[in-house]
Protein backbone atom coordinates (compact mmCIF):
# COMPACT_ATOMS: atom_id res chain seq x y z
CA UNK A 1 0.00 0.00 0.00
CA UNK A 2 1.91 3.04 -1.28
CA UNK A 3 1.66 6.69 -0.28
CA UNK A 4 -1.29 6.18 2.06
CA UNK A 5 0.13 8.88 4.35
CA UNK A 6 0.13 11.39 1.48
CA UNK A 7 -3.54 10.63 0.79
CA UNK A 8 -4.30 11.00 4.51
CA UNK A 9 -2.69 14.44 4.61
CA UNK A 10 -4.70 15.60 1.59
CA UNK A 11 -7.93 14.40 3.21
CA UNK A 12 -7.03 16.22 6.43
CA UNK A 13 -6.55 19.48 4.55
CA UNK A 14 -10.17 19.53 3.34
CA UNK A 15 -11.84 21.09 6.44
CA UNK A 16 -9.05 23.64 6.88
CA UNK A 17 -9.33 24.76 3.26
CA UNK A 18 -13.10 25.10 3.59
CA UNK A 19 -12.75 27.26 6.70
CA UNK A 20 -10.00 29.29 5.03
CA UNK A 21 -12.24 29.94 2.01
CA UNK A 22 -15.37 30.80 3.99
CA UNK A 23 -13.97 32.77 6.92
CA UNK A 24 -11.56 35.57 6.02
CA UNK A 25 -11.34 36.62 9.68
CA UNK A 26 -9.83 33.23 10.63
CA UNK A 27 -7.09 33.23 8.01
CA UNK A 28 -4.53 34.81 10.32
CA UNK A 29 -5.31 32.16 12.92
CA UNK A 30 -4.63 29.45 10.34
CA UNK A 31 -1.39 31.14 9.21
CA UNK A 32 -0.07 31.41 12.76
CA UNK A 33 -1.11 27.93 13.86
CA UNK A 34 0.30 26.34 10.72
CA UNK A 35 3.63 28.01 11.48
CA UNK A 36 3.58 26.96 15.14
CA UNK A 37 2.78 23.38 14.15
CA UNK A 38 5.83 22.95 11.91
CA UNK A 39 8.28 21.82 14.62
CA UNK A 40 6.01 18.87 15.37
CA UNK A 41 6.54 17.53 11.84
CA UNK A 42 10.09 16.70 12.87
CA UNK A 43 8.87 14.34 15.62
CA UNK A 44 7.79 11.63 13.16
CA UNK A 45 10.83 9.51 14.01
CA UNK A 46 9.37 9.08 17.50
CA UNK A 47 6.26 7.41 16.02
CA UNK A 48 7.90 5.50 13.17
CA UNK A 49 8.05 2.53 13.04
CA UNK A 50 6.86 1.81 16.61
CA UNK A 51 3.33 3.17 16.16
CA UNK A 52 2.88 2.91 12.41
CA UNK A 53 4.85 2.28 9.22
CA UNK A 54 3.53 4.16 6.17
CA UNK A 55 5.38 4.73 2.90
CA UNK A 56 7.02 8.17 2.60
CA UNK A 57 7.76 10.14 -0.55
CA UNK A 58 11.43 9.73 -1.50
CA UNK A 59 11.91 7.64 1.69
CA UNK A 60 12.77 10.83 3.55
CA UNK A 61 11.99 9.16 6.89
CA UNK A 62 15.21 7.15 6.45
CA UNK A 63 17.31 10.25 5.78
CA UNK A 64 15.96 13.09 7.92
CA UNK A 65 13.53 11.37 10.30
CA UNK A 66 10.34 12.83 8.82
CA UNK A 67 8.72 13.40 5.47
CA UNK A 68 6.93 15.95 3.32
CA UNK A 69 3.74 14.26 4.45
CA UNK A 70 4.43 15.21 8.07
CA UNK A 71 4.64 18.90 7.15
CA UNK A 72 1.38 18.68 5.24
CA UNK A 73 -0.30 16.72 8.04
CA UNK A 74 0.57 18.97 10.97
CA UNK A 75 -0.28 22.15 9.08
CA UNK A 76 -3.55 20.73 7.78
CA UNK A 77 -4.48 19.48 11.25
CA UNK A 78 -3.61 22.85 12.79
CA UNK A 79 -5.71 24.68 10.19
CA UNK A 80 -9.01 23.16 11.23
CA UNK A 81 -8.39 22.26 14.89
CA UNK A 82 -7.55 25.88 15.73
CA UNK A 83 -10.59 27.32 13.97
CA UNK A 84 -13.35 24.74 14.23
CA UNK A 85 -14.80 26.19 17.44
CA UNK A 86 -14.83 29.74 16.09
CA UNK A 87 -16.26 28.57 12.77
CA UNK A 88 -19.24 26.72 14.21
CA UNK A 89 -19.90 29.15 17.06
CA UNK A 90 -19.85 32.23 14.84
CA UNK A 91 -17.04 33.73 16.90
CA UNK A 92 -13.61 35.03 16.03
CA UNK A 93 -10.28 35.91 17.62
CA UNK A 94 -8.98 39.46 17.63
CA UNK A 95 -5.24 38.85 17.65
CA UNK A 96 -2.99 41.82 18.31
CA UNK A 97 0.41 40.56 19.46
CA UNK A 98 2.17 37.28 20.21
CA UNK A 99 3.71 36.72 23.64
CA UNK A 100 6.89 34.97 22.54
CA UNK A 101 7.89 34.27 26.12
CA UNK A 102 4.77 32.12 26.47
CA UNK A 103 5.49 30.37 23.18
CA UNK A 104 9.03 29.58 24.32
CA UNK A 105 7.79 28.29 27.68
CA UNK A 106 5.22 25.94 26.13
CA UNK A 107 7.67 24.55 23.59
CA UNK A 108 10.37 24.10 26.24
CA UNK A 109 8.00 22.27 28.58
CA UNK A 110 6.70 20.14 25.72
CA UNK A 111 10.19 19.17 24.62
CA UNK A 112 11.24 18.33 28.17
CA UNK A 113 8.18 16.18 28.80
CA UNK A 114 8.58 14.34 25.49
CA UNK A 115 12.17 13.53 26.39
CA UNK A 116 11.28 12.45 29.92
CA UNK A 117 8.33 10.24 28.99
CA UNK A 118 9.86 8.59 25.91
CA UNK A 119 13.12 7.86 27.71
CA UNK A 120 10.98 6.45 30.51
CA UNK A 121 9.58 3.92 28.05
CA UNK A 122 6.12 5.35 27.38
CA UNK A 123 4.88 4.86 23.84
CA UNK A 124 5.06 8.15 21.93
CA UNK A 125 1.40 8.13 20.93
CA UNK A 126 0.32 7.99 24.58
CA UNK A 127 2.99 10.45 25.66
CA UNK A 128 1.81 12.93 23.03
CA UNK A 129 -1.82 12.65 24.20
CA UNK A 130 -0.81 13.00 27.85
CA UNK A 131 1.48 16.00 27.24
CA UNK A 132 -0.93 17.78 24.91
CA UNK A 133 -3.82 17.26 27.31
CA UNK A 134 -1.75 18.25 30.34
CA UNK A 135 -0.48 21.50 28.85
CA UNK A 136 -3.99 22.33 27.67
CA UNK A 137 -5.36 21.83 31.19
CA UNK A 138 -2.63 24.11 32.53
CA UNK A 139 -3.68 26.81 30.04
CA UNK A 140 -7.32 26.34 31.03
CA UNK A 141 -6.39 26.74 34.69
CA UNK A 142 -4.81 30.08 33.82
CA UNK A 143 -7.54 31.07 31.34
CA UNK A 144 -10.79 29.66 32.68
CA UNK A 145 -12.75 31.71 30.18
CA UNK A 146 -11.48 29.27 27.55
CA UNK A 147 -12.89 26.12 29.17
CA UNK A 148 -16.09 26.04 27.14
CA UNK A 149 -14.32 26.84 23.88
CA UNK A 150 -11.65 24.23 24.56
CA UNK A 151 -14.08 21.42 25.36
CA UNK A 152 -16.35 22.17 22.41
CA UNK A 153 -13.33 22.55 20.13
CA UNK A 154 -12.03 19.17 21.30
CA UNK A 155 -15.40 17.50 20.70
CA UNK A 156 -15.83 19.02 17.24
CA UNK A 157 -12.27 18.08 16.31
CA UNK A 158 -12.80 14.50 17.43
CA UNK A 159 -15.94 14.21 15.31
CA UNK A 160 -14.21 15.67 12.25
CA UNK A 161 -11.06 13.62 12.87
CA UNK A 162 -13.17 10.47 13.11
CA UNK A 163 -15.04 11.32 9.90
CA UNK A 164 -11.80 11.96 8.01
CA UNK A 165 -10.35 8.67 9.25
CA UNK A 166 -13.51 6.90 8.08
CA UNK A 167 -13.05 8.42 4.61
CA UNK A 168 -9.41 7.35 4.66
CA UNK A 169 -10.39 3.83 5.74
CA UNK A 170 -12.86 3.57 2.86
CA UNK A 171 -10.17 4.77 0.44
CA UNK A 172 -7.70 2.19 1.73
CA UNK A 173 -9.63 -0.79 3.16
CA UNK A 174 -7.96 -2.34 6.22
CA UNK A 175 -5.29 0.39 6.23
CA UNK A 176 -5.42 0.77 10.01
CA UNK A 177 -4.78 -2.94 10.49
CA UNK A 178 -1.96 -3.00 7.94
CA UNK A 179 -0.08 0.27 8.43
CA UNK A 180 -0.77 0.91 12.13
CA UNK A 181 0.76 -1.52 14.65
CA UNK A 182 -2.48 -1.71 16.59
CA UNK A 183 -1.78 -5.13 18.07
CA UNK A 184 1.09 -3.62 20.05
CA UNK A 185 -1.25 -1.09 21.67
CA UNK A 186 -4.88 -1.17 22.82
CA UNK A 187 -5.99 -2.83 19.58
CA UNK A 188 -9.43 -1.26 20.04
CA UNK A 189 -11.37 0.26 17.18
CA UNK A 190 -14.47 2.41 16.77
CA UNK A 191 -15.99 1.63 13.39
CA UNK A 192 -12.56 0.64 12.15
CA UNK A 193 -10.64 3.64 13.55
CA UNK A 194 -8.03 2.98 16.28
CA UNK A 195 -8.91 4.48 19.65
CA UNK A 196 -5.43 6.00 19.85
CA UNK A 197 -6.16 8.15 16.81
CA UNK A 198 -9.34 9.52 18.37
CA UNK A 199 -7.55 10.27 21.65
CA UNK A 200 -4.88 12.08 19.67
CA UNK A 201 -7.50 14.06 17.75
CA UNK A 202 -9.32 15.06 20.93
CA UNK A 203 -6.10 16.24 22.58
CA UNK A 204 -5.06 18.20 19.49
CA UNK A 205 -8.48 19.85 19.29
CA UNK A 206 -8.31 20.99 22.89
CA UNK A 207 -4.75 22.30 22.57
CA UNK A 208 -5.25 24.06 19.24
CA UNK A 209 -8.37 25.83 20.46
CA UNK A 210 -6.74 27.33 23.56
CA UNK A 211 -3.10 27.75 22.50
CA UNK A 212 -3.43 30.87 20.34
CA UNK A 213 -5.75 32.76 22.72
CA UNK A 214 -3.28 32.05 25.51
CA UNK A 215 -0.13 33.20 23.73
CA UNK A 216 -1.83 36.29 22.27
CA UNK A 217 -4.09 37.12 25.24
CA UNK A 218 -7.00 37.11 22.79
CA UNK A 219 -10.59 36.13 23.54
CA UNK A 220 -13.28 34.54 21.46
CA UNK A 221 -15.77 37.28 20.63
CA UNK A 222 -18.87 37.38 18.41
CA UNK A 223 -17.88 37.86 14.81
CA UNK A 224 -20.46 40.65 14.45
CA UNK A 225 -18.47 42.70 16.95
CA UNK A 226 -15.42 42.90 14.68
CA UNK A 227 -17.52 43.49 11.58
CA UNK A 228 -19.14 46.46 13.24
CA UNK A 229 -15.82 48.12 14.08
Listing DSSP states for 201-220 in one string gives HHHHHHHHHHHHHHHHT--E
C-alpha–C-alpha distance, residues 108 and 126, integer Å: 19
H-helix or E-strand spanning residue 149: helix 147-171
> Is residue 51 within 8 Å of 181, Cβ to Cβ?
yes
- Beta strands (DSSP E) in 40-134 are 91-93
| pTM for the full predicted model | 0.94
- Determine the 3-state secondary structure of 11 from DSSP: helix
DSSP-derived letter for residue 91 is E
pLDDT of residue 113: 97
* Alpha-carbon distances of 189 from 16, 158, 196, rounded to whole Å: 26, 14, 9
Average pLDDT for runs of 10 along the chain of length 229:
90 98 97 98 96 96 97 98 98 94 97 94 97 98 98 98 97 94 96 97 98 97 67
Which residue, among 4, 138, 23, has the nearest Cα to 80 in the 3D structure?
23
Give the per-residue pLDDT at 226: 53
CA dist 17 → 41, 53, 78 (Å): 19, 27, 11
List the end-to-end C-alpha distance of the chain, in Å, as a whole number: 53
pLDDT at residue 2, rounded to an integer: 81
Amino acid sequence: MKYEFLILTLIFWIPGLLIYALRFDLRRVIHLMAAFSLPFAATEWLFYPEYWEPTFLFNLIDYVGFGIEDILFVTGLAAFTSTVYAFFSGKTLEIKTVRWDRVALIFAVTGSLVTFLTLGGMATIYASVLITGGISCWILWLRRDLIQAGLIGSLLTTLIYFSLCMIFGMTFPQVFEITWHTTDFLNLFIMGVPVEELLYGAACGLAATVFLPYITEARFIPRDTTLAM
